[in-house]
Amino acid sequence: MVLAMLADALAVTVGAQSAAPSTDPDPLANYYRNTLIWQNQTTHAIGRLWLNPDGRYFAFFNMGPQAKMPDTHGPFQVQGREGSYTLRAAGAQYRLCLWPQAPRITLGAQVQGELYAGADCYPLAPHPVGDLWSESTDPAGPVYKFWFVRGR
């Protein structure tokens, strides 16, 4: 029932933006139960994104070694956030729109401008599990290396 309602909402959201660029009824189907990993090639920060079919997401960021040690467990800073998402078609592309769950605390990854860290819409193309690619999601922004791996 929930999946049917989500599919209907997704179809309305995608249809409201433009015609869906894919014949796949759910362009995100490969993302469920798998992990999208990316690395900012400038800052070397690494992140992981999990998408669930119920419209929820989880994003985790490893900001790498820090200049001073955080309060516990050594010199690395790992952050995460959860929230909800929608998928919108933008011409022949898709945009994944994220809304972090309240309270919306500001993460270091967000301040640094890392991918999927804030409430925004980000380019996202369907990919098969096992794919590896590099791209810039913004012409003026950094290049990201992406891995799409099986499992969580």
pLDDT in tens, 63-101: 765 555 555 555 556 678 899 999 999 888 899 999 999
Give the integer Cα–Cα distance in Å for 102 and 41: 30
Phi/psi of residue 60, each to 5°?
A: -125, 140
Tokens of 90: 């933008």
Its pTM stands at: 0.72
pLDDT(60) > 70 = yes
Residue ranges in the chain assigned as alpha helix (H)? 2-17, 108-111
> How many whole angstroms separate alpha carbon 78 and alpha carbon 91?
35
Instruction: Tell me the average pLDDT across 103-121.
Output: 79
Q: How confident is the model at residue 102 (pLDDT cuts 50, 70, 90)?
A: confident
Tell me the C-alpha distance between 51 and 56, whole Å: 6
What does the alpha-carbon distance between residue 147 and residue 149 come to, in Å, rounded to a whole number?
Answer: 6
> HSE-up of 140 (CA within 13 Å, CB side)?
1
Cα 130–chain centre separation? 17
Compute the CA torsion angle 28, 146, 150, 88 (nearest 10 deg): -10
Alpha-carbon distances of 142 from 28, 66, 95, 107, rounded to whole Å: 24, 20, 18, 19
Model confidence at 108: pLDDT above 90: no
Q: Are 124 and 95 in contact (CB under 8 A)?
A: yes
Which residue type is seen at 66? Answer: Q
> What average pLDDT is seen over the chain?
78
- Specify the range with the lowest mean pLDDT, choosing from 12-21, 82-91, 93-102, 131-140: 12-21
Domain edges within the chain: 2-150
- Collapsing DSSP to helix, strand or coil, 15 comes out as helix
